[in-house]
Structure 1
Amino acid sequence: MAYDLEEQEQLASLKSWWKQYGNLITWVLIIALAAYAGWTGWKTYQRNQAAQAALLYEELQKGVTAKDNARVQRAAADVTSKFGKTLYAQMGALAAAKSAFDNGDLKTAKTQLQWVIDNGASDEYKAIAKLRLAGVLLDEKAFDEGLKVLSGDFPEQFAGAVADRKGDILTAQSKIEDAKAAYKTALEKTGEQNPARQLIQLKLDAIGGSAKAAA
């Protein structure tokens, strides 16, 4: 009987405790389970998005191989509009920009590059887009606009390429001393084994730069 009494007391205590905290615990469990379900659902959604984006990117690459710019632009429009948060969208826009540029459609090339700059999730892809956009603007002789594109922050590994592009624009503007300084910076920021160094040095020499200063 003593055991039964003790058991009854424990049961009564448990009932009292549950009455006081049961609802709170239930809601905590519901929230935790909902959060887990949401997280797994989101992961599944992301995988599905990436898989569908990959198919569109494959279609885009087929257009590139066939040199079919219209096909490339259609696929790029689909992947950026439907799967804009994926890396495939950024890669697709960059590829579409090059295809448009190769076909003399600078307006579309700029639009695709600007999309990456405005919507890209990767700083590296944004940097590539800015460098290419500055190159298009250089071809259009929109020099000040090109320099503006290059004035923002870039990942450190792009420092040499950015300075090199600035040198190209400044040379086109006949701002030779500024161009020399930009090319020298480009050399300083470009690794010794990087084949781009030779071209930068050639451009520096062509405008009367000091090879010794650039070393």
Structure 2
Amino acid sequence: MAAHLDLEEQEQLEQLKAFWKRWGNAITWLLTLALVAYAGWTGWNYWQRNQAAKAGAMFSELERAVQAGDLAKGAAVFGTLKQDFASTGYAAQAALMTAKLQLDKEKADDARATLTWAVANAKGDAYRDLARLRLAALQMDAKQYDEAAKTLEGVKSADFAPLAADRRGDLALLQNKPDVAKAEFKKAYDGMDKQLDYRRLLEVKLASLGVAVGDAATASGAAQ
């Protein structure tokens, strides 16, 4: 019986040797690749967390500079975020914040450059669209009407569509196109949440063009 078991064990051992001889290298390579992939994934996650933590600390420093009105410090911190942490959401927020500080300090050219960077590089469609809306306003202030129109064309998010229409209405007025302005302001008014106070501003804009909406339209209808 023992001899019989020995023969079976030897046969199994020979089969195992044959299997390993045929597939051993492939299995070793697969295991190696799996370990390398796991190590890479773990390392990438660690790097991402590390980058986010560093970017967060830099963003806090920028917030302090903005609160103090320190443009030089704020611009320097944003430069670091832009160079070393552009892939993080903090860089996008920093661009919007820095542009506002630059504008407050009457550095409109610098603010446009900062927002232009955000449009091209910010992480997240919402940040890029918000940067486009603010950039378009500055371009209109600088009488760069064609550039402003192109910037607004890039706003694709449905959440920002009413604000983009409002900006296009402002642009149309600057270009002496009142009919276009009416249509855009009405589009903005209809697309905006009824609870938002911003609709009041749109009502005023439309009223200045002879279009009654909201309470004014109701009062006009009752008078008739």
User: Taking structure 2 as the reference length, what is the TM-score of the superposition?
Assistant: 0.93
Counterpart of 2:152 in structure 1 is 150
Question: Does the 8 Å contact 2:152/2:168 carry over to 1?
Answer: yes
Counterpart of 1:86 in structure 2 is 88
Deviations 1:42-68 (A, max 9, x none): 000001101111111111100110011
Map 1:181-196 to 2 at 5 A.
181-196=183-198
- Of all paired residues, the percent bearing the same amino acid is 42
Q: Unaligned 5+ residue runs, structure 1?
A: none
Question: Does the 8 Å contact 2:189/2:199 carry over to 1?
Answer: yes
Shifted more, 120-129 versus 152-161: the winner is: 152-161
Question: Does the 8 Å contact 2:155/2:161 carry over to 1?
Answer: no
Question: Does the 8 Å contact 2:203/2:212 carry over to 1?
Answer: no
1:79 CA drift (Å) = 0.6
1:153 CA drift (Å) = 4.2
- Quick one: distance in 1 between partners of 2:92 and 2:31? 40
1:188 CA drift (Å) = 1.4
- Quick one: distance in 2 between partners of 1:74 and 1:140? 25
User: Taking structure 1 as the reference length, what is the TM-score of the superposition?
Assistant: 0.96
Question: Does the 8 Å contact 2:132/2:154 carry over to 1?
Answer: no
Deviations 1:174-197 (A, max 9, x none): 110000000000011101111111
Deviations 1:75-116 (A, max 9, x none): 100111011100011111111111101111111101110111
Q: Assess, with a 3 A threshold, how the Cα gap between structure 1 residues 180 and 214 changes in structure 2: closer, same or farther.
A: farther
Question: Does the 8 Å contact 2:62/2:74 carry over to 1?
Answer: yes
* 1:74 and 2:46 aligned: no
Count of aligned pairs: 215
SS across alignment from 1:150: helix
1:209 CA drift (Å) = 2.2
Deviations 1:3-26 (A, max 9, x none): 010000000000000000000000
- Quick one: distance in 2 between partners of 1:214 and 1:10? 92
Cα RMSD for the two superposed structures: 1.5
